[in-house]
Structure 1
């Protein structure tokens, strides 16, 4: 039924202009803002071509889960680059992180195909994003 259609995920933000600047300038994604007035919306184009719909919501509440996961070859290098761009990384008490905020599995805990390192940060609307180093 849906195998032949186009689909995309979406999430809300409280300030579309701040989101445009963050996703476009800080993260370097392709950003397209369309519409006018109350009908403004934005599409992000992710590496690989997938698109994500971002819409303003007056009573926005940040998602309670990670909304985007970026797989990277070297999470430490990417975290350094994002720190230089002014991104702040989250720290969660249940995970032990290094001084940059990267969580790595302990000795013998890394599973094939699982993340070798992960770090989380938020967009200006408080939505959580992850960068993950995978095998």
Structure 2
């Protein structure tokens, strides 16, 4: 039914201006702002035409799961770039993350390495190296 749809995902933030700076300036994504007043929102361009809608929500609660994953070829380089940009990596109990905050060798069909970080609204994001 929706096989040819150009579906997109979305999530909320508590400060749209902070989100625009983080996603555009810190992460280097193409960010487009639309609307005005209380109807402002952001569209993040993720390559290959993929997009994610980011909208303000006064009663925002950060997602308790990863809302956006960024595949990378070299996780150490990506983590280093995040750290240089002032982004702190998250560490979760029960995961054997290394000194950089990277969980390596997920085994099975999981990623070879993954590291998590949050946006200014507390939403969880990740960088993932598949192999």
Consecutive aligned runs of 4 or more in structure 1 exceeding 3 Å deviation: none
* TM-score scaled by length of structure 1: 0.92
- Give the equivalent residue in structure 2 for 1:110: 107
Aligned residues: 131
1:34 aligns with 2:34: yes
Gaps of 5+ in 1: none
* TM-score scaled by length of structure 2: 0.95
Equivalent position SS for 1:22: helix
Equivalent position SS for 2:112: strand
1:128 aligns with 2:121: no
CA RMSD in angstroms comes to 1.1
Once structures 1 and 2 are overlaid, which stretch shifts more, 60-69 or 2-11?
Answer: 2-11
Question: 1:33-52 alignment to 2 at 5 Å?
Answer: 33-52=33-52
1:25 aligns with 2:25: yes
In 2, distance between residues paired with 1:96 and 1:35?
43
Equivalent position SS for 1:115: coil
Equivalent position SS for 2:126: strand
